[in-house]
Structure 1
Amino acid sequence: MIKEDNKVVTIKKASGEEEPFSVNKLKQSLRNAGADEEIIEQVAEDVNSWIYDGVTTAKIYGRAFSLLRKKKSYTASRYKLKKAIMELGPTGFPFEHFIGKILEVQGFKTEVGQVVNGKCVTHEVDVIATQDKNQYFVECKYGTSQGKIFSVQIPLYIRSRVNDIIDKRKEDDRFKDFTFHGWVVTNTRFSTDAINYGTCSGLHLLSWDYPAQNGLKDLIDRDKIFPITVLHNLTIAQKQQLMEKGIVICKQISENPEVLEPFQIKPRKLNSLRKEISDLS
């Protein structure tokens, strides 16, 4: 086991905040990614002996990821998840499709990128998710930085838009007996005020780690809905081309392997890619 000495090493988070480095916190993140205890000890020992004051969490992650990748590709892919979600950009379009796929796995029928009428004005809705006679209007807020925190202004704005859509749909016989809901999803985090307002106003919120035990990271890991950006055996350009076609999760490739044909991937590389996708699915 690694013993932390008396010296406190201060590290810098993505938000710019500083905090003491905890080797136990690093171990837990590796454990969450599925690494076995032997690998956890090896990676933690390396990072613990290398770390220095002022180092960023991104550099710590990069070193740990590099070590994991050498030892176990599948575990490295899971450990990379948060960064992989950031790589769904630079636009929010792939993230909207990604959220649509997550909701499909939850049993919803989804429509992505819809223009709908409100009582006063028309609105662009990122995802409409319907299950039985419950319909959710989902706004996806894609953050390009892990330190991004969405304030209360976002749910305030979305609540008013959703209310306008609901007022219109209540007049439509096609939606008789439907119950309507608003939902805001982000790959980063919400402020405390945003969460409080969402809870008070009946607006559903989903962020990287909220609700507790059922946040975005939990849904992805539990249902194995990994984005294609976790894959080591595809280039950035290849991933971008797939995302432009609405192919955003690994399961879509395993179910439709012909989408890879335009890339003319060499057999050895293709076999590695197939195994990587299989491990994640």
Structure 2
Amino acid sequence: MSLKLHYIITPRKFFIYKADGRRVQFNEHKILSTCIRAGASKKTAKRILKKVKSEVYRDMTSNDIYKIVLRVISEEKDLHALHQRYQLKDAIMRMGPAGFAFENYIASILEYYDYQVIRIRSKIRGKCATHEIDLIGMKNNQEFLIECKYHSLRGVYTGLKESLYTHARFLDMHPKFAGEIIFCNTQVSNHAKKYAKCIGQKIFSWRYPAANSLEKIIEKHNLYPITILNLTENELRIFSDCNMMVAKDLLRYDEAKIAKMTGISKKRINNMQKLVKQIFHPT
């Protein structure tokens, strides 16, 4: 009888609530694909999905399902690295509240988009106003205006307003820049995508563009943010000031040198380095 009741509560197709309030059909493929991208084998990902599905019911929130996935992973043997990598989106969300850390992080990974960062948070005089530009990137001897839009909450879209605002600044400084780019840590609205495509503005965000989105570049090149190590706010500020925003950067130096650079104890740095090795070089 319990099995029959469970089937009634969780049919093959049912709906859940997203962080933005939308009611959407539960998509088990997202859990499977995210586990695999985070480093799980297909066999392990399917086993995790099976356990998660046994606890999911209609009208749950996506955040509750996310917590179930993390708990199931933590209950699996020798999957500590997967547990950390699965939290990529949350790790980026922890770069607030001001967003300066996110700007520094994007500056650290732009080379993987073939851009060289030449200036960070610069004031540039336009025809009608002075603008503070998050990043100025160089590609093929041309300069590009790069804006970083950071949100600390799930379900918040980067929308048409941000796209319009960036384009207005670009026009006011024309012909200083050859192009305009927006990086954001959340999804981007369809209106913003359509407008950006029309004016030639590039956007890199969560899940967009499909083949070159922010999370795919991070996962492909192991560019996980340093916040994946569960830093305190003070530690994040220190690493951001030192321009050490990618977790694997901690393996470039020994703990004594990093401790001297940051003022963080050697013991704490050593523990961080051990965790980085587990994440990127699991045994």
Q: Shorter-chain TM-score: what band?
A: 0.7 to 0.9
Letter aligned with residue 94 of structure 1: A
- Percent identity for Structure 1 against Structure 2: 28
Asked if the contact 2:160–2:192 (Cα under 8 Å) also holds between the matched residues in 1, the reply is yes
Letter aligned with residue 43 of structure 2: E
Summarize the Cα distance change of 1:201–1:245 in structure 2 as closer, same or farther, 3 Å threshold. same
Letter aligned with residue 208 of structure 2: Y
Summarize the Cα distance change of 1:236–1:76 in structure 2 as closer, same or farther, 3 Å threshold. farther
Please give the alpha-carbon distance, in whole angstroms, between the structure 2 residues aligned to 1:9 and 1:122: 51
One of 218, 227, 245 as aligned partner of 1:220: 218
Please give the alpha-carbon distance, in whole angstroms, between the structure 1 residues aligned to 2:44 and 2:113: 33
User: Who is 2:227 aligned against?
Assistant: 229
Please give the alpha-carbon distance, in whole angstroms, between the structure 2 residues aligned to 1:27 and 1:229: 24
Asked if the contact 2:248–2:276 (Cα under 8 Å) also holds between the matched residues in 1, the reply is no
Alignment TM-score, normalising by the size of structure 1: 0.84
User: Who is 1:195 aligned against?
Assistant: 193
User: Is 1:126 matched with 2:131?
Assistant: no
Q: Report the CA distance between 1:25 and its aligned residue.
A: 3.3
User: Who is 1:49 aligned against?
Assistant: 54
Structure 1 unaligned blocks of 5 or more: 170-178
Q: Report the CA distance between 1:5 and its aligned residue.
A: 4.7
Q: Report the CA distance between 1:162 and its aligned residue.
A: 1.0
Q: Report the CA distance between 1:87 and its aligned residue.
A: 0.9
Q: Report the CA distance between 1:78 and its aligned residue.
A: 2.2
Summarize the Cα distance change of 1:66–1:241 in structure 2 as closer, same or farther, 3 Å threshold. farther
Please give the alpha-carbon distance, in whole angstroms, between the structure 2 residues aligned to 1:44 and 1:237: 36
Structure 2 unaligned blocks of 5 or more: 1-5
Letter aligned with residue 122 of structure 1: T
User: Is 1:101 matched with 2:100?
Assistant: no
Q: Report the CA distance between 1:143 and its aligned residue.
A: 1.3
Please give the alpha-carbon distance, in whole angstroms, between the structure 2 residues aligned to 1:185 and 1:203: 11
Please give the alpha-carbon distance, in whole angstroms, between the structure 1 residues aligned to 2:113 and 2:281: 21
1:237-271 deviation digits (Å, cap 9, x = unpaired): 53443234332111322223432462232698356
User: Who is 2:258 aligned against?
Assistant: 259
Please give the alpha-carbon distance, in whole angstroms, between the structure 1 residues aligned to 2:187 and 2:71: 26
Asked if the contact 1:251–1:277 (Cα under 8 Å) also holds between the matched residues in 2, the reply is no
User: Who is 1:172 aligned against?
Assistant: none
Please give the alpha-carbon distance, in whole angstroms, between the structure 2 residues aligned to 1:130 and 1:198: 20
Query: SS where residue 69 of structure 2 aligns?
Result: helix
Query: SS where residue 149 of structure 1 aligns?
Result: coil
Query: SS where residue 54 of structure 2 aligns?
Result: helix
Alignment TM-score, normalising by the size of structure 2: 0.84
Letter aligned with residue 59 of structure 1: D
User: Who is 1:247 aligned against?
Assistant: 244
Please give the alpha-carbon distance, in whole angstroms, between the structure 2 residues aligned to 1:59 and 1:148: 17
Asked if the contact 2:74–2:80 (Cα under 8 Å) also holds between the matched residues in 1, the reply is yes
Asked if the contact 2:159–2:188 (Cα under 8 Å) also holds between the matched residues in 1, the reply is yes
